[in-house]
Structure 1
């Protein structure tokens, strides 16, 4: 799970409150991943696939990240971020996705991350960029349809060639699957594009009607969270290798 900051905004143009909200998501994600790592090393056994304590937390973390990504695209559009700056940031996200796939393959070769949060964000940022000028009502409607689409497809799709094709790795990035792929992280376009569109709609509305919510002063106590939010991509790529390394060292000396 991973956040992405608005497309290459200069520090002076950034909204501290949005960065701090992304920082909250980063802290939450770190605590979740630390618990996951403890389970992986068998220091603290938990059921991350079925226990609602963990499944609902994962939904909440991913939702918050993607909401922030949508808010960030609304801010970037208002500030006139051009295609060159957008593509520079997008390239960083896409490269990060490739690194995640490669790194997870080394640790989890049978369940490596082939379409996780960074992969999903890379695709969804392009969609958000193309739809940033839509009316807020259309964004809300599109978000609702995106969230509902997988459930509708699953209800209508019968076992057969089409279901098998959608479940195949080459197509399951869409999210229209009848069974969850065996992978350590899975954030397909649908339904998660809905969270991006709703974040974009919320950002557009706030900037038009309540700009102080995003542009207001940030309390000094929240500055560390804002700093974390400004460096979200780098932190995301580094935090798991660091925690894995520390736990591997602990395991070596404790066992």
Structure 2
């Protein structure tokens, strides 16, 4: 029954990954082929980007309920995230605290305090998420030491930025909901294309942009 349940979660994760890939492809078309800017910069995609990123973060929290060692998973993912920072800085497209950094730190935090945060109602986590959004919009605090908490200093550049505040509250809300998901019954046993994609979320995240550039840059040179 665990495999069936995970396939449902993987399918939702796969949908988020597919939409991310499409979103980034449209950005590449605007950047490389002078496609209309509204393909990427429009209110629908602006809202959808954070909506499906939020779903992905919450699903990652839910998955913590099915892991034997969130500390080990978090440490491995943090190593990947730091390597990504080094590579993207060298390439001139720095990612200082992207979604991989967020998820890895949240996994490590959950390994430390999850037994206590799981005792809180999911509404508390959700409320903390929205209250922290309000706080970020109103606080005058800024500084080099606060960027991890969602308060970047002026001029900070990061091509993917998911600070702990407010996203960690959504992660812990997902972990709380994950306890309920363990008791759900599922009838569909066969994996789907989306569930397969969801199981490969990390390599897809790391490789899709290099693949796009490897295909699109030569094409751009050919059509110029």
**TM norm structure 1:** 0.76
Q: For residues 179 and 47 of structure 1, do their structure 2 counterparts lie closer, same or farther at Cα, with a shift above 3 Å needed?
A: farther
Cα distance between partner residues in 1 of 2:5 and 2:199: 9
The alignment status of 1:207 with 2:168, answered yes or no, reads no
SS state at 2:162 partner: coil
Cα distance between partner residues in 2 of 1:129 and 1:59: 26
The alignment status of 1:191 with 2:166, answered yes or no, reads yes
Q: For residues 52 and 136 of structure 1, do their structure 2 counterparts lie closer, same or farther at Cα, with a shift above 3 Å needed?
A: farther
Cα distance between partner residues in 2 of 1:103 and 1:40: 20
**TM norm structure 2:** 0.85
Q: Is the 8 A contact 2:23 2:40 kept in 1?
A: no
Aligned residues: 222
SS state at 1:182 partner: coil
Residue ranges of structure 1 left out of the alignment (5+ in a row) = 1-10
What RMSD over aligned residues (CA atoms) do the two structures have, in Å?
2.7
Q: For residues 14 and 193 of structure 1, do their structure 2 counterparts lie closer, same or farther at Cα, with a shift above 3 Å needed?
A: same
Q: For residues 218 and 181 of structure 1, do their structure 2 counterparts lie closer, same or farther at Cα, with a shift above 3 Å needed?
A: farther
Q: Is the 8 A contact 1:154 1:176 kept in 2?
A: no
- Alpha-carbon offset, residue 13 of structure 1: 8.6
What are the residue-to-residue correspondences of 1:1-255 with 2, within 5 Å? 15-46=6-37, 51-76=42-67, 81-82=68-69, 86-107=70-91, 109=92, 112-134=94-116, 135=118, 137-155=120-138, 157-158=139-140, 163-165=141-143, 168=144, 170-177=145-152, 181-208=156-183, 211-212=184-185, 216-218=186-188, 220=190, 223-255=192-224
Residue ranges of structure 2 left out of the alignment (5+ in a row) = none
